[in-house]
Amino acid sequence: MEHRTFLSKRNIGLDFLRAILILEGVLYHAARSLPGSNNWYYVADKNQADIFSAIIEFIHTFRMEAFFFLSGMFSAMVFARKGAQFFLNNRCKRVLLPLVASFAFIPGVMYVITAAIKGEALSLEGVLHGYTYLHHLWFLVSLSAMSFLIPGRWYNRLAQGMRRLPFLALVIALIVACNVFFVVKFLVKDSGEFISLIPVTARFAVYYAAGYALYLNSDKIPQISQSWLLNNWLVAALGLISLLAFYVVLHQHITSSLKYVPVLISSVFSVVFSYWLVFTFEKLRMKENALVKGIVDSALVIYIMHYPLVITGAWLLDDYIPDNLSVTYVFINTLVALCLSTLLYLVIKQFSALSVLFGLKPTTKSPSSLANQKG
C-alpha cells in the first residue's frame, strides 16, 4: 500500500507546517485574555475585538486537528520504514519524556501565577491541587495515548476500511465521528479535566487515524487531491462561513448552547482543510535553512514554556497598554512570550541532560571544533 513518491524523503514544508501549527498556540493563549473568553486565568480590562477574536477562535478549530492529522501521517511513515520498536522508542524520547519533564514543574508554576493574579496566599494543599490540572500539556497526553495505548494494527485496519470509502463518504464519516465525540465532551464537561480529556483524545484520534490512513493509502492521493471537495474556492468558502459564525456568536454575546454551533460548522472545514493543507505544503519545495530549522527544532519547547509566560504577561501588561489597543496588547504579549520562550530553548539546548528531557537532540560539536580543542 505504500506509495514511493509521497513523502519518499523528508519534506521541509510539512515539518514547517507542523511547527507553525504548534506555535500558533502562543497567539491563541495570548488572545484568550481578551474579554469574551470563559474560564481563563486572567481577563484583561480591554475593549472587545470581535473580528480579531473570531479569527483566533476560527483558527483554533483547525489548528490542533491538522496537527494530529500530520502526526498520524508521520507515525505511519515511521512505522512503515523503521518498524514499531523504533516508533515507540522515538515517541518515548520526543513525547512521553517531555510530558513527564514539563508536568514536573508547569502545574506548580501555574498555581503560583494563578494565586498571584487572584491575590491568594500560597499553600502546600494548593500546590498539590495544582497537579490535578494538565493546562496546555493535554495534547502530549493525548498524543501519548494514541501512540502507546492504541495498537498499530488497529490503525492499519482503519486505514483498510477508509481505503474502501469514496472520498466524500470518508469525509462525512470523519465529520460525524468528530462531532459525536464533541457532544460527548460537552456532556461530561463538568466531570473534571481528566474525564473530559477522554472524548477530546478520541476526537483528535479521528484526525490521527485519518492522517495515518492517508499515508498507507497514498497511492490514492492523485485521485483524492483532484476531488471537488478540495477545490480552493470551496475550501475558502467553508472557512469564511465558519469565521462568520464565530463572529456572530461573539458580537451577539451568545452564551447559550448555541455558542457551540460555529464549532460544529467548523468541523466540516477542519476535516477538508487538513487534507488541503497536507497536499498544499507537501508540494512546496521549501529548502531547509537556519531559520526554518530553528523554528522546527524549537517548536515543542517554546510551546511548553510559553504558557506561564503569556498568562503572566497578560496580567502585567494590562495596565500599560490602553484599553482601545486590544489587538496590540495581544501581539505584544505574544512577541514577549515568544522571545522569552526562545531564550529558554537556547538555554536548554546547551545542556545535554535538559535536551534529552525536552526531546531535543543534544548539541554536538563538529570534528574540527573538537580537534581545535585538543590542539
Lowest mean pLDDT among 16-20, 21-25, 250-254, 281-285: 281-285
Burial status of residue 258 (CB atoms within 10 A of its CB: 0-12, 13-18, 19 or more): exposed
Residue 142 pLDDT grade (very low, low, confident, very high; cuts 50, 70, 90):
very high
Please tell me which of 244-248, 261-265, 358-362 the model is most confident about, judged by mean pLDDT. 244-248
Position 203 pLDDT exceeds 90: yes
Average pLDDT, the chain: 90
Sorted by sequence, the CB contacts under 8 Å of residue 86 that are 6+ apart come out as 78
Q: How many CB atoms lie within 10 A of CB 96?
A: 18
DSSP string, 229-293: GG-HHHHHHHHHHHHHHHHHHHHTT--SGGGGHHHHHHHHHHHHHHHHHHHHHHT--PPP-HHHH
Name the more confident of 67 and 370.
67
Position 375 pLDDT exceeds 50: no
Q: What is the pLDDT of residue 253?
A: 85
Sorted by sequence, the CB contacts under 8 Å of residue 38 that are 6+ apart come out as none
Region 106-128: what's the mean pLDDT?
94
Name the more confident of 370 and 134.
134
Lowest mean pLDDT among 2-11, 77-86, 114-123: 2-11
Q: What is the pLDDT of residue 363?
A: 61
For residue 118 the three cell numbers come to 487572584
Calculate ∠ Cα 342-63-209, nearest 5°.
115
Placement of cell 512505522 in the chain: 79
The SS3 assignment for 132 reads: coil
Position 5 pLDDT exceeds 70: no
Proportion of the chain above pLDDT 70, given as a percent: 93
Q: What is the pLDDT of residue 271?
A: 96
C-alpha to C-alpha distance for 47 and 68, rounded to whole angstroms: 34
Q: How many CB atoms lie within 10 A of CB 254?
A: 14
Question: Which amino acid is residue 230, in one-letter code?
Answer: L
C-alpha to C-alpha distance for 189 and 185, rounded to whole angstroms: 6
Residue 285 pLDDT grade (very low, low, confident, very high; cuts 50, 70, 90):
confident
C-alpha to C-alpha distance for 177 and 165, rounded to whole angstroms: 15
C-alpha to C-alpha distance for 329 and 333, rounded to whole angstroms: 6
Position 48 pLDDT exceeds 90: no
Q: What is the pLDDT of residue 365?
A: 52
Residue 12 pLDDT grade (very low, low, confident, very high; cuts 50, 70, 90):
confident
Placement of cell 519518499 in the chain: 8
First-last CA distance in the chain: 54
Q: What is the pLDDT of residues 313-346, one digit of tens each?
A: 999 999 999 999 999 999 999 999 999 999 999 9
CA distances in angstroms from 68 to 80, 89, 212, 339, listed in the order given:
18, 19, 10, 26
Residue 10 pLDDT grade (very low, low, confident, very high; cuts 50, 70, 90):
low
